[in-house]
Amino acid sequence: MITVTQGVKVTSPCATCGGMLVRDVGQFIDRGQLRWGAEGRCQVCGSAWCEMGTGPAPEEIRQALLAEHGVTRLHLATREASLVPVLRALREVRHLSLGEARLAAADLRGAGMVGTSVEMAHLAEGLRKRSVTTTLAPSPI
């Protein structure tokens, strides 16, 4: 199993007192599942919370990670890769319909798919389990 994590600290006003809320947000892969987490603590009043989830991270967390670390691009290593295992992996990992999986497979064969490094590593692992070789690289949006 692969272990990939990515996180960032973000600040915002505390909803309780208006002080500075410092949050640690991130994504990680745990036992083959894509997960996310967020925890925060106000530096003034001490108000604190923590939450975690399975699956795609909330958009606010994704955007913070992308702003801090940039995007990662996932490509098929060869354009000649069989479409069937690619479609199966996309449907299993991303829970896509067949039509959506076909569009995503076309992206993988072409310009590639982009996302956080954790999202793309998770998809790459799903493809590897189906014997599909991929490449991951940092990329401008």
One domain, residues 90 and 32 = no
Q: What is the CATH number of the domain that holds 115?
A: 3.30.1390.10
pTM: 0.89
One domain, residues 32 and 62 = yes
Split into its structural domains, the chain has a count of 2
One domain, residues 13 and 60 = yes
Residue 1, pLDDT > 90, answer no
Cα 74 to Cα 41, 49, 86, 131: the distances in Å are: 35, 34, 13, 15
What CA–CA distance (Å, rounded) separates 71 from 53? 21
From 69, 90, 115, give the residue that closes a domain. 69
Residue 35, pLDDT > 70, answer yes
Residue 36, pLDDT > 70, answer yes
Q: Per DSSP, which regions of 2-133 are E strands?
A: 5-13, 20-30, 33-42, 48-54, 71-76, 113-115
Domain ranges, residue 47: 5-69
- The per-residue pLDDT for range 46-103, each reduced to its tens digit, is 999 999 999 999 999 999 999 999 999 999 998 788 999 999 999 999 999 999 999 9
From 69, 88, 119, give the residue that closes a domain. 69
